[in-house]
Structure 1
Amino acid sequence: MAGMSRVDTSYLARWWRNVDRVTLCCVGVLIGFGYVLMLAASPAVATRIGASRDMFILKQVIFLTLAGLIVTGTSLLSLRGVRRLAAMGFVLAVAATALTLVHGVEIKGARRWIALPMMSVQPSEFLKPCFAVVTAWLLTERRARRLLPGLPIALGLFAAILLLLKSQPDIGMLSVITTVFMAQLFIDGLNLFFVGAGVGCMVAAFLGAYMVFPHVRSRVERFLHPNVGDHYQIDTALRAFGNGGLMGRGPGEGRVKDLLPDAHADFVFAVAGEEFGMLICLFIIGVFCLIVVRTLLKLLREDDPFVVVASTGLITGFGLQAFVNMGSTLHLIPTKGMTLPFISYGGSSAMSVALTIGMVLALTRHRVGESRIPRGRVMPRPAPGPRRATA
């Protein structure tokens, strides 16, 4: 596509000229690391559970291929197309998340998955991007349509999600969605008093989860008191980083994948640290930071409030998910079973993250000749200039 001429006015050529190609390349880099780390980590995990050595690799090849297609296909959408996709996706994700409470697969005391012939789907993963876009539309549209109670509707949708995720339970996912919602409210211009009140409610909710849910209390206590409880996974992950050093032990030479049951998923960053070293880990962190920071900088030049609020929510969820995975692996925060975007094994995660980045690319794509003035605002007419004398 690099050779497309400026005079080529086809839709694909215009998309390629106007899309954020740096972010698109960063996504390709992360998908490449996903392939490499699955080759390194998954055979040992598959052998340990008695499955074919290539089972996880073959599945992840399919998942990441679909993820790449989703990123590209979604980035082609118009603003109206993004809103429609998010609305339909939100309805389906809420219905499927509610279905998990009745017919979901229970794993480690939580009902978050729906079993399908080839894979298990976690519908709540798709709530993150769809809710961010729907919320942004409600918050910004209420200014153009005075009779639309956008904020109350958004709060009602958030309350429904809160009840569903609490019932599963999935406190980690609820924390991410809550943070995304608060960030959008702040960007939309919510009074600082209410922002502080929202943060206070989040702290109170965390304390409530600590008191009510035993698994939350166990993780927090093990984080705060290293000498109490089982720290096998974290200690093994930290030893893996130490063994890798600056340059790593080399591809296939790591040992953490033989010891951790989730080396291909939640602790794949430890596999990268042991086999490829600190420099590659810093490079991966830099790629994630580049995607987040570049998107936020592009929003500084954006004048459409819907694009700003929606993109802020989407990129906040993306960056927070990456931080939670890497931070828990490095024991900077309590452990939380959350995948590393595009790198960890998982079909639902890969496709939901691809939907997130695809929507960000579609929203921030430069649209030549398309008005970026929000609906409801009228631009003043330019003052008439002096008339030219006619012969």
Structure 2
Amino acid sequence: MFKRNYRKNIGLMAGVEFFAFLGITSFWILFLSQNGMSLWQIGLLESIFHATSVICEIPSGMLADRYSYKTNLYLSRIAGIASSILMLAGQGNFWIYALAMVVSALSYNFDSGTSAAMVYDSAVEAGLKERYLSISSFMSGVAEGTRSLGTVLAGFFVHGQLHLTYYIMIVTSIIVLFLTWMLKEPSVKAQKSERLTMKKIIWTVKEELRRNPSLFSWMILSQIIGTLMCMFYFYYQNQLPDLEGWQISMVMLMGSVLNIWAVYLASKIGKKYSALKLFPILVLLTGGTYLLSYFGTPLIYILVYWVSNALYALFQPIFDNDLQKRLPSEVRATMLSVYSMMFSLSMIIIFPLTGWLIDYLGFVVAFLYLGLILVLASFLLFFILKEMAGALKLKEEVIYK
């Protein structure tokens, strides 16, 4: 008979991450295009997704802090199943797709912050707090691997069979519901949930942001710049139809290998250097990689896709480890939801703006501009984050005295 414990939670959460976010539906832009949606309609649907995410991100995190992590994980997968059904039912209807995007955003919101909080609190309960960076890197490796594996598989469905990927997603979501049932809710969460009210959560988050404004600024800055670092990943999808199905799968497979290697490096590098020190360097390298778009060849595009994606994958677990250490347990999921909401706000502005640049300036020129912006931003970040690091260190010294 299966006995729940906190060490098993980590393995189960890896399974949840694997099946919940299998990248089998990664080519949703192509799917919508093949079903009659124009580029501006696709951009509008993406905005609907992120607008919903902005509205619901913090309330969903508050639900996790008020009730249980498992409840949010259940709701996430139920919404994921509903979204897949709506995408299949759309048949070229913009408004059905819009509803699917709303429900998909809810699925994302319910999981966002909750999974990371569940893993962190489970590690603490299991006496593995000091190993959290390694655990976080492992989870990031699973996330990168599963997204890339799904994308590799989806590459074989690109030419007219992408609807099958949503059937696969429904099946994997059902598996996640079972894995979630097997999890053990952290006792620290269970002890506090009875007396923690929504009002108290809001007050605690507000007090945390007031007490530590430098942390809040760091969260905002990392998401805005991080969003720019992701743009090639999203818009390179429009170049994929020029490749054969097997070529697409090979590109994604190699990308997966590089990303997994990147998160492995993160577990080593993050022990020696903080995210504040590494971020300007990674931004500079990403900007320089974007500038290679100048050559405009398919091989160069693939190289830019691989390197920029790997650099972002390297940063995420290191930042997550640094952030988790600074968050109070009783509002951990809510604060992580605040962080995720910042990404959605950035996407609402940057995603359509990048699309507009590509439409009017062309793919190459648009990413030359973005590359220059990132290179210039990296030099500013060296000075800004140096001061921010000092402020955060001073704040920690005051807290622990």
TM-score of the two chains, using structure 2 as the length reference: 0.28
Comparing both structures, which one devotes a greater share of its residues to helix?
2
The structure with the larger Rg is 1
TM-score of the two chains, using structure 1 as the length reference: 0.29
